[in-house]
Structures are given as C-alpha cells and as structure tokens.
Amino acid sequence: MPMAANQGSSGLASRSGCQDKRRPRRVQGHKLIGFENNPVVRHTGATYPILQAPMSWIARSSLVGAVSAAGGLGILETSGRDLETVKREYDAIRAMTDRPFGINLAIKFLKGDEARERAVLDWVLDGRVKFVTTSAGDPRRYVERIKGAGVTVYHAVPTLEGALKAEDAGVDGLVVEGGESAGIRGSEPVHAMVLLQAVRERVGLPMIAAGGVVDGRGMAAAFALGAEGVAMGTRFVASAESRVHENYKAAIVAASPSGTVQLPLVRGAMGRVLKTEMALRMMAGEDPPERSRNGVADLYIGGRTDIAMGSAGESAGLIHEVKPVAAIIEDAVSGFWREIDRLAALRDSARV
Ligand SMILES: Cc1cc2nc3c(=O)[nH]c(=O)nc-3n(C[C@H](O)[C@H](O)[C@H](O)COP(=O)(O)O)c2cc1C
C-alpha cells in the first residue's frame, strides 16, 4: 500500500524523546510554524497546510487575500460566468498580499461554454498561480494541461471511487470532502471519519480534509485519519473578512451541531443547508412560492435567512463567534500543536 508522508501520524509516533527539536518554532513575533516538511505546504507555498475552500461569490479577494496573508492558502473561485470579474479579484488579491494563493476550476460550470472554458484555462495557467484545485467533474479534462503548465493540481472528491479515479488521472493530491461538509454532494454522502481512512488505505497522494474542521482539534483529528492538510468553508464564511451579510454569519454562529439538513438543491444534487423553517418545509416535500431563487441577492447581500437556503456544514455547530481570519488561522495552528502534544503525552504516560 503506498503511503504519503503523513506529518500528523509520523509526528505522533516519534515526538517523545526529541521534543525540543520537533517543537514548532515561534517566528515573526506571533506566528507558529513547524510544517516545513508537510507535502501540502511544499505544494502550495503557504506557511500552514490550511486552505480556505472554494465557494461561489464568497471566495473572492477580501477572503482569499486575508487567508493567504495570514499564512493559509486562499482559493479564488471562478464558477461565475464572467472572466473579467475573476481578473479583477485576482488583481485585488495581489494588491493585498504577496503570499501565494490558488484558483479553483469547477469543471461542471466551466465546460458548458467551450470558448469561456478555454479563456479561463489560458488565463489561469499563464503563470498566475502555482497551485489549482479542480472540482465537480472528471479531472482528466484538465490534468494534462495544468501539469504541462508546471502547476500543481489537487482534485476534490466526495467518495473513495472518485479518489481512485483522480489518482489514475494523475493529479498531485486530493481534497477529500466528507458528507458533513457544505457544497453539492451525492445522495449517499460518506462522512469524513470513514472517508479519510478509506482513501488513505488505498491512495498515497497528499490529502486535504474538507468538512467538519473549524479549529486545531478538528485539524489534528483529520491528520490522525491520514490527512496532511485541511480546508475550511463554513468557518471562513463566518469570518470578519467574508463578504456575506451579517445575518447569514449570525445564523451560522447560532446553529447547533444538528442545525443543518441535506436538500436537493442544484438539478437534484444534494446540498447541506442551515435548518431553517423554509428548509424543513422543503424537506417535507413543499415548494414554498416565497422561497428565494437567488441566494446571492437575497441571502449573501440581502441577509434574508428566512427565505433563502444558506449553505453550511455540520461544522456550523462548532462555530461560536465571527472572528478575523488571522485569529482563525493562528488559533487552528496553536490548537493543532496543543492536540498533538496532548496525544503524544498519552504515549509518555503509558510507559510509566
Ligand atoms: C457557503 C458555501 C458555499 C460553497 N460553495 C461551493 C462552491 O461553489 N463550489 C464547491 O466546490 N464547493 C463549495 N462549497 C463547499 C466547500 O468548498 C467545502 O468543501 C466545504 O465548505 C467544507 O466543509 P465545511 O463547510 O464544513 O468546512 C461551499 C461551502 C459553503 C459553506
């Protein structure tokens, strides 16, 4: 069975006895590092193996730039119809930070219009970024072109079967999306606890865990299950730099761990949303006439949590306040090492 270098588990097994050497160093005043040999960090150029997940309309300059400036890897989304907007957002991020960021190519949304697809690929692969993610489709459509341009590509998968196909296609790594995550999913989602282990058993590529992670505890858990990085969506929606309406952020903060449901959203595909009265009516088979058909206008801009479906992962139940992106990332990193130390101490006490 091929195994990727898993910094989480290898660190756990060998920490005791050489703790000083391996203890993450404090640099630049407040920043903690310690991921120099992590494959996701090597591929992305970020300081930490923490990605901000792609999200239509939300993963734009204010959020992407803030995540990358704080040492994570922001991912700019390109699923809108308009390349000019993407270009403007790209320039705005570049003006905010000289740290690396990535771009997501949502295959299903791009392939509908071949001229636009070609234009987006030409523009993205013209030396603009060194890391892209692909999602929602067959990665074989783009892998050769992306790698030919010297760019690293991770493909997002919600199943073991998808992971095996992506490996065959030649991607450099995977974003493994558990069923507790937000986003468009199949009708039988597999949650991250099982999916990460199943993929790690069969696939040796670097693996980024998406779904259910909001802090260092979740990050350490993902590493224990075989991941070498994490991607957070819902956590960053409820950040100070996220451009959505405060009502939406407040609804995420208010949600309990059982505060989301899965609904058929886009052409029958399932999506996880906040459990509002409207969502419950839809689950019961109703199609309420007052339901919003334009989530960007009504929810993201207008704050109408009552009539629009708000995408959110089960992770919403772990989010207790809106925080600045830098605090989210610093807390995740320090919390991660705290959990690693706690687990390593189990080994020490077992020897006594
Ligand atoms: C508001 C919102 C919008 C999202 N939109 C997209 C999208 O457009 N494309 C996509 O591939 N994933 C989308 N996702 C899913 C994320 O990329 C990511 O897989 C997910 O948020 C991870 O789970 P978490 O929310 O528990 O962190 C979205 C997630 C949220 C919360």
Q: Domain segments of the chain: what residues?
A: 7-242+322-351, 246-315
Q: Is 54 in the pocket of ligand 1 (CB under 6 A)?
A: yes
Q: Is 226 in the pocket of ligand 1 (CB under 6 A)?
A: no
User: In the prediction, which pLDDT does 123 show?
Assistant: 96
User: In the prediction, which pLDDT does 352 show?
Assistant: 57
Q: Is 232 in the pocket of ligand 1 (CB under 6 A)?
A: yes
User: In the prediction, which pLDDT does 185 show?
Assistant: 84
CB-CB neighbours of 240 under 10 Å: 15
The model's pTM is 0.91
**Calpha distance 199→201 (Å, rounded):** 5
* Region 14-27 average pLDDT: 42
* Region 344-352 average pLDDT: 81
Is residue 6 pLDDT above 50, yes or no?
no
| pLDDT confidence band for 288 (50 / 70 / 90) | very high
| pLDDT confidence band for 261 (50 / 70 / 90) | very high
Single-letter amino acid, residue 66: A
User: In the prediction, which pLDDT does 26 show?
Assistant: 52
User: In the prediction, which pLDDT does 34 show?
Assistant: 86
DSSP 290: T
Matching CATH number, 7-242+322-351, of 3.40.50.1480, 3.40.720.10, 3.20.20.70, 3.40.50.720:
3.20.20.70
| pLDDT confidence band for 19 (50 / 70 / 90) | very low
Region of 305 please: left (phi>0), alpha (psi -120 to 50) or beta: alpha
Q: How far is CA 179 from the centre of its chain?
A: 13
352-to-42, 246, 339 alpha-carbon distances in Å: 38, 52, 21
Q: What is the pLDDT of residues 22-77, one digit of tens each?
A: 455 554 443 567 899 999 999 999 999 999 999 999 999 999 999 999 999 999 99
Q: How many CA atoms lie within 13 A of 38 on its CB side?
A: 26
* Percent of the chain topping pLDDT 70: 90
Closest by CA position to 195, among listed 166, 222, 171, 232: 222
Which stretch of 35-39, 186-190, 229-233, 315-319 has the lowest confidence by average pLDDT?
186-190
Per the model's pLDDT, the better-predicted residue between 30 and 267 turns out to be 267
Q: Is 308 in the pocket of ligand 1 (CB under 6 A)?
A: no
Q: Is 52 in the pocket of ligand 1 (CB under 6 A)?
A: no
User: In the prediction, which pLDDT does 351 show?
Assistant: 66
Is residue 221 pLDDT above 50, yes or no?
yes
Q: State which ligand 1 atom lies nearest to the alpha carbon of 79.
A: 8
> For tokens 């996880």, what's the residue?
272
Sheet holding 269-274, edge to edge: 184-185, 269-274, 260-266
* Region 288-292 average pLDDT: 94
Which stretch of 12-21, 72-81, 308-317, 318-327 has the lowest confidence by average pLDDT?
12-21
Most distant CA pair in the chain, distance: 67
Is residue 15 pLDDT above 60, yes or no?
no
